[in-house]
Chains A and B, each alone.
With several copies, the nearest count.
Chain A
């Protein structure tokens, strides 16, 4: 069955979410992945937004985390203080899965969403952290969406906006961050995970029709590909639920 790479990426992220996970999501594909998980495999997962909405009904897909659609039929409508406290407080925060994106990522899963070039006189300016650094600092597990390009998978970030494993094993703890960090990087070509011991990125999966070497060609640094398997494409049912129940108007897809 036909599917787009965006659909593949969304479904792979959705499969990572379980019942009783509290899912932090941003705008676009990350929101769609969280919605898909509720429709497909984790009906009792809870979606929340940094703006303060928790357990939103989402009858229509929001186009921003500030979209009024996140405010309808929630468990509570609070503010930014509430949502970030839910993550910084480990009692609830240990149940949160964060979904993030960025302009650059390094082999330890650190993210740059601020600038390309020198911070004081950047070549390219991006949006900045928003809540991204907060989520990456607080939560035990995060999923990262990226496009696979050499300039995005870099040896050294121009600016470290959101912490992954910083410079390797024990670095988060040394910096004073709660343990945790990125669990998975989902791109338009495959899936990267992080080694338990070295905290370094490795290739865990590639999409049908794409080879590990093609993926390495799109990265400034190399990663271990020995454990890579072909990813299972979205099923007809997954696609049906994603397309018809989550984004029937194709606002994101």
Chain B
């Protein structure tokens, strides 16, 4: 958070400043939509390692961070990417090879954990996962938890309803709050102070943003101070929560950004191909991430024709009739 008036900076600087080795990170978006991909690629480019990542279903961004070896611990609900990966390939390999420690939650639980963090409360209750291995099986041991001041001593706690049977509820599961060191989200519109306007679904971005100690915003469109203060009903994140604002057109590419561009099915498929084996994946990393200097270079590399293809139809907000086979 920062109550200051101008937070515009470069992506390089924002990542250097807030994303430190071993930090606890969360990224916005959902599967193939509005992942802060430019920031993900910059984190990889800066070779920041040992990150503890919190994810619900943050699809493409999660798989690329894992693939590049940036992640050592992962708390996650869903490591898939819709039709493009029933299970994300680099995520799967990393878990099966034991190169990352992983702990499983549900999408609702992860969202409630961010909500708890954003509310400044230690936990929230739900009925989800009662009687399942989500409660019984922990990815992080009691010992490791006790040692780490920034991980709660328990994964989840089952509790009887203290209000007798109020709401015909006998038991609940308590999920512990998450307050990431830094959250990064990509939005359609932000002003220079950091007021944000997300178009289309917000997923869990608002909770992830408000629960974070530091918040980096990348945006498609950057507005002057106060320009977004008209029609502010549509702003979900007031500037006080924001530390850095970075203007990056196509900042979610190859994932979608509603009303701006669609996901790129060709790039996502190609990624899946490269991801299948380690040598090919090295080629992917050097060609699409390490081999280029910034996100604009990636957009240039992919080319104008592809950008035209994924350009959003102003009526529907996505690329109507785009070939997705």
Contacts and interface: CB of A to CB of B under 8 A. Distances in A.
Interface of A: 20-22, 27-28, 44, 46, 50-55, 57, 59-60, 62-81, 84-93, 95, 114, 119-134, 137-138, 159-163, 166, 171-173, 175-178, 249-252
Contact of B230 (A73, A76, A138, A249): A73
B111 interface: yes
Interface stretch (B17-25, B131-139, B271-279, B288-296): B131-139
B241 interface: yes
Nearest to A89: B120
Given A57-B229, A64-B83, A80-B107, A89 B132 contact: no
A128 B77 contact: yes
Interface residues of B, number: 102
A64 B77 contact: no
B105 interface: yes
A131 B210 CA distance: 21
Contact of A72 (B82, B263, B317): B317
Interface string B99-119: 000001111110110010111
A52 B119 CA distance: 14
Given A129-B106, A130-B57, A176-B169, A71 B79 contact: no
Contacts of B72: none
B3 A65 contact: no
Contact of B104 (A88, A114, A172): A114
Contact of B201 (A52, A138, A177): A52
A177 B127 contact: yes
B303 interface: no
B140 to A, nearest CB: 10
**Secondary structure type dominating chain A contacts:** loop
B76 interface: yes
Interface string B178-189: 010000000000
B195 A22 contact: no
Contact of B3 (A93, A95, A250): A95
Given A63-B32, A64-B31, A71 B258 contact: yes
B162 interface: no
Contacts of A53: 201
Contacts of B3: 20-22, 44, 46, 95
6 contacts: A68-B262, A69-B316, A73-B226, A89-B210, A129-B107, A133-B132
A79 B324 contact: no
Interface stretch (B44-52, B88-96, B143-151, B216-224): B88-96
Contact of A84 (B107, B193, B213): B107
B126 interface: yes
